[in-house]
A and B are shown apart, each in its own frame.
Chain A
């Protein structure tokens, strides 16, 4: 039954139906509603047995998750932004130990300047931490991805990050169907750990490994992670059979006959689809749900006919350019396909249909550079650069830009 509920609430209810046994929780905007919801369910006894631990930091959250998972419990937590970076060391540790922890990342920008709004800088910064990364296009997809995430994590013994756009999805109230308990139970068997801290069969976990074996251990982690590409379609099919929910590692929209294709991750896909519906020239849209491991073969297939791929990214690598674009270029190596990077929606700036259509018009007129920033206020940038050149002690850009923009409060447009 579809109910008009908040995205975070739907995720919390879904996670609860996956029967996590340990949930370390630490608040950070915009993830907090999820763990608040789970905390209430544990307190009310509707989620049991489950230990809900109010840890002292995100580093503590992921560390407690590591201990809980290694001791054989299904373990879940959620974070965002600075919190994800604060647990970075533990993220690599969780994947290196092969612990099937599932975590929601409510995507949010990284400071400085501090910014609580949505972009993908947080999870993109951790793309190489050895976790599966799934990006939800909408809240219904987010619900399904969480159920699939536990199954995938436990089948492969790898941790899975479900990335959900902060505020845009986490705080959106919309009709969402949370799968019922029987369906989830049928889909997700009780957790059986591949390695566990058991006094009856004592093992040493987390031993030092030197040059004689480190490469092989890391290769095997890569190999194990890549299995997700094969597992995903089967798990998605099973999920669809039980719940009717549709999930895909890579999904396409109007790509047939389109010479230009926009590729994006997360909620911005919906806006792009709306934008391409309204223009004359056929432009396709590819939504990448599975980002790590990177589904090279599937992307090559869906982009076979594309002459120009525009990767619209809600994050970028300063001093280099696109993050996802680099992977797309590698996937399309050997082809003549042109790849452009459009950095958009940083720190919560709205990505509007009008802006996308203007960008596509530039692309059609062959005016789109290899790297561009959607809706960049070049007037402000130039004034700030001039101010910067005028004196030595000009302070940080953030203050200068705000002064020039003259915006007393935050505005997303």
Chain B
């Protein structure tokens, strides 16, 4: 293969470009040896954060397992855009059963692999936020408490995007969806609702819980690798911006993920056996407004006059995350 010398690579984002790194430290996606397990040609929307995250997750998991990997998928965008047979994008053994049961199906796969002596083959389950935090919650909690040997990855785009952007239990306050419209005195999704799935996962005291997003792809890969170095129930919650549902420009997917992290609204951390073990510090904190403004789902906050009261409540949520996970250690 031909190799290029290192070029200066600066994106103005404080992110380190792959090309500045030693080849051994580059992402799996930068490698010619990547497995391409979610192959090109699928039907995801332009700028789909889930497709980007899934590529990184599955290829990193394939590398970590030497290609000895089985994937189970919940019903949802990822399943629909990747599979109209015979045009499957999956280059690894892949099973879709139902919306609510990806975790239980994965439990069954792991049990079968153990019973048939295929100890080297590992199991990855994937679902969206609806399939994970809402309809799939009971099965997932069962998988966690039994400590079944599965890595479950939730690609969280904060609503039911596949059915046309309806509210889920992962939809943030004030966000407009088709079932929480931007009308009335409290426009969008009500405050004081929703659930924090990574913390629920931690409450099961499973070996590993982590959050990640598509602006921190080294971090995402490293967390997949870390997860695959362990056995038992593991949970990875990946924030994946959705241009369709969020009303954002497809080119802004990575930018929005970065702003979500740097505003403190989406903290990146790892936890083992119920205790937070590390968090990714915010470099270049931004007010939540900077993250919210480019998204049409929050357009009602920026009218005339702007809803500074609601923006203030959202900033409070970000500040609480920053304090809870120590995301600004220099200020601590």
Contact = CB atoms under 8 A, between A and B. Distances in A.
Contact of A205 (B96, B106, B114): B96
A100 to B, nearest CB: 13
A56 B85 contact: no
A199 B112 contact: no
A57 B142 contact: yes
A54 interface: yes
B88 interface: yes
Contacts of B112: 21-22, 51, 67-73, 75
Contacts of B95: 67, 70, 197, 205-206
A202 interface: yes
Main secondary structure of the interface of B (DSSP, over half): mixed
Given A21-B115, A56-B142, A63 B105 contact: yes
B98 A71 contact: no
Contact of A204 (B94, B109, B117): B94
B294 interface: no
A63 B84 CA distance: 22
Interface string B1-38: 00000000000000000000000000000000000000
B299 interface: no
Given A55-B142, A90-B101, A199 B109 contact: no
Contact of B93 (A24, A51, A75, A203): A203
A64 B84 contact: no
A64 B98 CA distance: 12
Contacts of A197: 70, 93-95, 109
Contact of A57 (B67, B97, B117, B138): B138
A199 B105 contact: no
B326 to A, nearest CB: 34
A199 B73 CA distance: 16
A51 B148 CA distance: 11
B100 A207 contact: no
Contacts of A60: 101, 104, 107, 138-139, 142
B105 A66 contact: yes
Contacts of B90: 202, 204
Interface residues of A, number: 42
Interface in B219-264: none
Interface in A38-54: 49-51, 53-54
B295 interface: no
Contacts of B101: 59-60, 63, 66, 90
B83 A204 contact: yes
20 contacts: A22-B112, A24-B111, A49-B114, A53-B107, A57-B138, A59-B101, A63-B107, A66-B105, A67-B104, A68-B115, A71-B108, A71-B116, A90-B97, A90-B98, A199-B70, A199-B92, A204-B83, A204-B85, A206-B73, A208-B84
Question: Which 4 residue pairs spanning A and B have beta carbons closest together?
Answer: A67-B108, A56-B142, A206-B96, A63-B104
Interface of B: 67-70, 72-73, 79-80, 83-85, 88, 90-98, 100-101, 104-117, 121, 138-139, 141-142, 145-146, 148
